[in-house]
Homo-oligomer: A and B are copies of this chain.
Amino acid sequence: MLEIRTDLAIESKELYRETNKEEAPGVEVEKLEDEEYEITRVKILDEKGEESLGKPKGTYITIQVPKLKSADQDLKDKISKVLAKEIKGLGKSNKDTKTLIIGLGNWNVTPDALGPKVVDRVLVTRQYFIAYNKEEDETVANVSALSPGVMGLTGIETSEIVKGIVEKTRPDLVIAIDALASRKMDRVSTTIQISDTGINPGSGIGNKRIGLNQEYLGVPVLAIGVPTVVDAATMVNDTMDLILESMKSVAESGTEFYSTLQQVSNEEKYYLIREVLEPFMPNVVVTPKEIDLIIDDLSIIIANGLNIALHHGIHLEDVNRYIR
């Protein structure tokens, strides 16, 4: 059974292969490569797949864009459009779908503020449907949006707030935006994951016990996430692996140091590191230095993607036109 947790299905898959030296059963993978990005669609098909990847059945789409951190406007716009296409491809919304967008995370903690920043920027329209007493519209869909904060700020479980609002406003679809943790520094701020399984207890960073999924809320839940941190233990672990790797290539014969380290199993090593770091662990994160600016950029890319995906009158060329 898998001990090392990650928010990205693509990483769970990699971990399974590393540990078991075979592909995970009950899982289907589809790849699509472009010059500037790569899309991977991981489908967990059955209970075997659920068990092997430690995530519920459903589709997990990863858009990886190595140059996203230093992207020019053209690339950003392109990714908004790719994101919109993938969201639509999940088939959970049409032009009359009432969508509630939930920005998860703590707006006071920069790497955790992605969700609230997207909510700040997305086009919100439900008030007009109410004001004009309309059920549908040619160009614009019925969208509401809210950032419920985190329990440390409100004293209330996020899921309770969202459930309360869903019961009052009766949306057809919930889309939750969240900052994730990755195992690899090079995925931080360069990867967007979309899934149709919502957010499930036990997944995610640290102490989020929320389950924002169809089972709890009664409507389909899409989750959009971007890794914005790696945890410290992972980082040390991966660096030690890189050291091993580099020593292997440099000195084939190998020093004693190298050969010994190699004998330590992956799990043993990671466990050791966690134990050593434990006292600092819950409170230390590793992030890009320019994380404040990166979060700003990402929130615009995602808000644009949502605007295009949800509103039928907002076309690809309108990107950036409806950003708040």
Interface residues of A in 130-165 (CB under 8 A from B): 130, 142-146, 148-149, 151-157, 160-161, 163-165
Verify if A168 is at the interface (C-beta below 8 Å from B).
Answer: yes
* A243 touching B155, Cβ below 8 Å: no
User: Contacts of A72 on B, CB cut-off 8 Å?
Assistant: 321
From B168, B243, B261, give the contact of A160 (CB < 8 A).
B168
* B152 touching A109, Cβ below 8 Å: no
User: Contacts of A272 on B, CB cut-off 8 Å?
Assistant: 243, 246-247
Interface residues of A in 91-113 (CB under 8 A from B): 108-110
User: Contacts of A161 on B, CB cut-off 8 Å?
Assistant: 146, 164-165, 168
* A292 touching B109, Cβ below 8 Å: yes
CA–CA, A277 to B73, complex, Å? 29
Q: Mark A249-274, 1 if CB is under 8 A from B, else 0.
A: 00000001100110110000000110
Verify if A235 is at the interface (C-beta below 8 Å from B).
Answer: yes
Verify if A2 is at the interface (C-beta below 8 Å from B).
Answer: no
* B165 touching A152, Cβ below 8 Å: no
User: Contacts of A275 on B, CB cut-off 8 Å?
Assistant: 246
* B293 touching A108, Cβ below 8 Å: yes
* A126 touching B156, Cβ below 8 Å: yes
CA–CA, A117 to B58, complex, Å? 40
Given A160-B169, A169-B156, residue A286 in contact with residue B284 (CB < 8 A): yes
* B288 touching A108, Cβ below 8 Å: no
Beyond contacts A124-B154, A163-B164: 10 other A-B pairs, Cβ-Cβ < 8 A, are: A109-B291, A126-B155, A144-B156, A235-B235, A239-B276, A242-B276, A243-B273, A257-B264, A261-B261, A285-B288
A residues apposed to B, CB below 8 Å: 72-73, 108-110, 124-127, 130, 142-146, 148-149, 151-157, 160-161, 163-169, 185-186, 232, 235-236, 239-240, 242-243, 246-247, 256-257, 260-261, 263-264, 272-273, 275-277, 280, 282-293, 320-321
